[in-house]
C-alpha cells in the first residue's frame, strides 16, 4: 500500500464575526446517520496552479474561511441536550483542514473505464474523525487536500449528517467553489429549521401509521452457505461499478416490459432510480443466496423538498429534508419475478412520501419517547446505546445522487475528473451519473467481501437484450 503522509493540520474559522447561539435541529436532522459522511473529488490542475505549491492550499483555506460566514452553522459544534436529542452550538470554532501527500499517481487510485475497487489507500485520502473525543469537540466539517506524485490532487470533505443532507452538502460545496473562483454567493442558505417545525410541539397525533422496522439480519444458522456467510465475518469492500448508457437502457426496457398493452401505456414508466435500485436489490439477493422465504428490505432515501405542499420549504433550505422509507418483499419473489416487480415495490415506498406523510412522520418522531432507536450513531462509535438496525444482509440501502449537481465543482483550476462518496457504511450503495454526461452511471457499492464477486457477476450478466 502506498504511503499517505499528513503534512499539516489547520483550524479554519469564519473570516468575519458570525451569529453565535444555539440552533435547534429538526427531528429529520436527528434520525438515521448522525455521524460524518465523506465525499471525495479528484483533479488534475494545470501547471500554473502547482507553482508555488501553496497556491492551491491558500486558495482553499481563504475561500473556506469566507464561505463559513454565510454557512456559519458548519463552524459550530454539536452537543447532546438529552440522551437522544442534539443541538447545534454556533460558536465559530471552525472547520479542520488537513494537508497530505501520497506516493501514488492519480490514475492508480481512480482507475480507468469500467468498474474498479478502490485500493486501501483510498481511505487514507479522507479526513479522520476522532470519535474518541467528546462529541461536542468534534468539528462538523473536516477537509483533506492530498497531492499525488503526478501533480494531481484529491479534495475530500467529511461533514456531519446531523447538520446537512446531500442537497445541502452540494449547496455548500458549490458556493465554496464559486467564492474560490472570485464569484459572489449565488443562493444564501436558509438556516431556519422551523420550516420543518424544529423545536415546536407536535401538531397532534400522527395521522398515518409509520414503521421503520427492518427484517431481522440473517444469522449463520439461517444461511444456506454457512462458510460463505459467517455472521461473525463482516468485512466489507467498496466497489465502483460502471454501467454504460446502453446497459442502463436495457435495464429500463427489462423493468418496463408488460407496462404497455394494445399500444397504450398502462402506467408511468419506471425511472432510472427505480430500475437501477431494483437491479441492485435482486443482485444482492442472488449474491447472498437468500432462501426464497427470506424477507428483505431496501432502504430508499426520499427528498421531501418537492413533496411538501403545506408550508413549502424555502429555497436554499439548509438541513436534512430526507426520509428513509422501506421497500420490502420476499427474496424468492424478487428473484423469480421480472425486474419490474422489484421496481414496483420501490415505487410504492417512494410514492407514500407526500405532504400528509411528511407532517405525520414529524409528529410521530416528536411524540416518540426515544429517538435513539432511529439513530445509527453506533455504526461508527460502536455504542451499545444505538439500536438502529443499519443495512446488512438481508437488507440493503440504495441512495440516489442522480439528480444532485455533483460535477463542475471548479475551485479555479478546472473541473474534477471524478467525484463520489468517500465511503459507504453498512451494506449500501450510491447511484451516481458519470461526469462524462453521456448517460452512463456508477454504482458505488459496499458489500461483504464474501458476496462481492458474485454480486458483480450478476450485476453485469443479468442485463439481457
Asked if residue 179 and residue 278 are part of one domain, the reply reads no
Asked if residue 245 and residue 182 are part of one domain, the reply reads no
Q: Domain ends where: 144, 164, 196?
A: 196
Q: Which residues are catalytic?
A: 161, 410
The answer to whether position 210 is within a domain reads no
pLDDT higher than threshold 50 for residue 6: yes
Bigger pLDDT: 31 vs 225:
31
The answer to whether position 202 is within a domain reads no
Asked if residue 168 and residue 73 are part of one domain, the reply reads yes
Asked if residue 292 and residue 430 are part of one domain, the reply reads yes
Q: Which residue is it, cell 497531492? A: 147
pLDDT higher than threshold 90 for residue 222: no
Asked if residue 248 and residue 172 are part of one domain, the reply reads no
Asked if residue 242 and residue 123 are part of one domain, the reply reads no
pLDDT higher than threshold 60 for residue 114: no
Bigger pLDDT: 359 vs 382:
359
Asked if residue 458 and residue 350 are part of one domain, the reply reads yes
148-202 confidence digits (pLDDT tens): 999 999 999 999 999 999 999 999 999 999 999 999 999 999 999 999 999 999 9
**For residues 71 and 311, what is the distance between their CA atoms, to the nearest angstrom?**
23
Asked if residue 38 and residue 151 are part of one domain, the reply reads yes
Asked if residue 244 and residue 186 are part of one domain, the reply reads no
**Total structural domains in the chain?**
2
pLDDT at position 266 is: 55
Give mean pLDDT, residues 58-75.
Answer: 98
R_g over Cα of the chain: 22
Instruction: Report if pTM > 0.95.
Output: no
The answer to whether position 155 is within a domain reads yes
* Average pLDDT of every residue of the chain: 88
Asked if residue 340 and residue 246 are part of one domain, the reply reads yes
- Which of 178-192, 222-236, 274-288 is the least confident region? 222-236
The answer to whether position 207 is within a domain reads no
Asked if residue 276 and residue 177 are part of one domain, the reply reads no
Q: How confident is the model at residue 10 (pLDDT cuts 50, 70, 90)?
A: very high
pLDDT at position 121 is: 78
In angstroms, the Cα distances linking 243 to 77, 247, 301, 433, 441 are 40, 6, 22, 10, 5
Percentage of the chain surpassing pLDDT 90?
67
The answer to whether position 335 is within a domain reads yes
Burial classification of residue 230, based on how many CB atoms lie within 10 Å of its CB (0-12 exposed, 13-18 middle, 19 or more buried) = middle
- Distance of alpha carbon 419 from its chain centroid, rounded? 13
Q: Domain ends where: 196, 216, 248?
A: 196
Q: Give residue 432's domain range.
A: 236-258+266-462
pLDDT at position 115 is: 59
CATH of residue 128: 3.30.559.10
pLDDT higher than threshold 60 for residue 225: no
Q: Which of 424, 462, 427, 432 is nearest to 447 (CA)?
A: 427
The answer to whether position 213 is within a domain reads no
The answer to whether position 28 is within a domain reads yes
Asked if residue 188 and residue 39 are part of one domain, the reply reads yes
How many other β-carbons are positioned within 10 Å of the β-carbon of residue 347?
21
Amino acid at each position: 500500500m502506498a504511503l499517505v503522509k499528513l503534512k499539516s493540520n489547520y483550524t479554519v474559522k469564519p473570516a468575519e464575526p458570525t451569529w453565535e447561539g444555539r440552533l435547534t435541529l429538526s427531528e429529520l436532522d436527528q434520525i438515521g446517520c448522525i455521524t460524518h459522511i465523506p465525499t471525495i473529488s479528484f483533479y488534475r490542475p494545470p501547471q500554473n496552479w502547482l507553482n508555488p505549491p501553496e497556491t492551491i492550499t491558500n486558495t482553499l483555506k481563504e475561500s473556506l474561511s469566507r464561505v463559513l460566514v454565510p454557512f456559519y452553522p458548519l463552524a459550530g459544534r454539536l452537543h447532546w441536550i438529552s440522551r437522544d436529542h442534539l443541538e447545534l452550538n454556533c460558536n465559530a470554532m471552525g472547520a479542520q483542514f488537513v494537508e497530505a501527500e501520497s506516493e501514488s499517481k492519480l490514475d492508480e487510485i481512480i482507475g480507468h473505464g469500467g468498474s474498479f475497487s478502490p485500493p486501501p489507500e483510498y481511505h487514507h485520502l479522507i479526513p479522520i474523525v476522532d470519535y474518541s473525543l467528546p462529541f461536542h469537540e468534534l468539528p462538523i466539517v473536516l477537509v483533506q487536500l492530498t497531492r499525488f506524485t503526478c501533480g494531481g490532487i484529491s479534495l475530500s470533505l467529511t461533514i456531519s449528517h446531523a447538520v446537512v443532507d446531500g442537497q445541502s452538502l452540494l449547496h455548500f460545496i458549490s458556493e465554496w467553489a464559486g467564492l474560490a473562483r472570485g464569484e459572489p454567493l449565488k443562493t444564501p442558505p436558509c438556516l431556519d429549521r422551523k420550516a420543518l417545525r424544529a423545536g415546536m410541539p407536535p401538531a397532534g397525533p400522527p395521522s398515518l401509521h409509520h414503521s421503520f422496522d427492518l427484517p431481522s439480519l440473517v444469522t449463520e444458522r439461517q444461511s444456506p452457505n454457512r462458510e460463505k456467510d459467517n455472521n461473525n465475518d463482516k468485512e466489507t469492500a467498496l466497489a465502483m461499478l460502471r454501467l454504460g448508457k446502453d446497459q442502463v437502457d436495457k435495464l429500463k426496457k427489462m423493468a418496463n416490459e408488460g407496462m404497455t398493452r394494445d399500444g397504450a401505456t398502462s402506467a408511468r414508466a419506471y425511472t432510472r432510480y427505480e430500475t437501477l435500485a431494483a437491479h441492485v436489490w435482486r443482485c444482492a439477493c442472488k449474491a447472498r443466496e437468500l432462501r426464497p422465504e427470506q424477507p428483505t428490505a431496501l432502504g430508499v432515501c426520499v427528498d421531501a423538498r418537492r413533496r411538501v405542499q403545506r408550508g413549502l420549504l424555502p429555497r436554499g433550505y439548509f438541513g436534512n429534508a430526507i426520509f428513509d422509507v422501506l421497500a420490502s418483499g420476499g427474496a424468492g419473489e424478487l428473484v423469480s419475478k421480472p425486474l419490474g416487480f422489484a421496481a414496483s415495490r420501490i415505487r410504492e415506498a417512494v410514492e407514500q412520501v407526500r405532504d400528509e406523510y411528511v407532517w405525520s412522520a414529524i409528529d410521530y418522531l416528536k411524540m416518540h419517547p426515544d429517538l435513539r432507536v432511529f439513530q445509527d450513531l453506533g455504526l461508527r462509535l460502536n455504542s451499545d446505546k444505538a439500536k438502529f438496525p443499519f443495512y446488512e444482509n438481508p437488507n440493503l440501502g440504495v441512495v440516489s445522487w442522480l439528480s444532485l449537481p455533483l460535477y463542475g465543482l471548479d475551485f479555479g483550476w478546472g473541473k474534477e475528473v471524478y467525484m463520489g462518496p468517500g465511503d459507504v457504511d453498512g451494506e449500501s450503495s450510491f447511484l451516481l451519473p458519470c461526469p462524462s454526461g453521456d448517460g452512463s452511471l456508477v454504482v458505488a457499492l459496499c458489500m461483504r467481501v464474501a458476496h462481492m464477486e458474485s454480486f458483480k457477476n450478476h450485476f453485469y450478466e443479468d442485463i439481457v437484450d
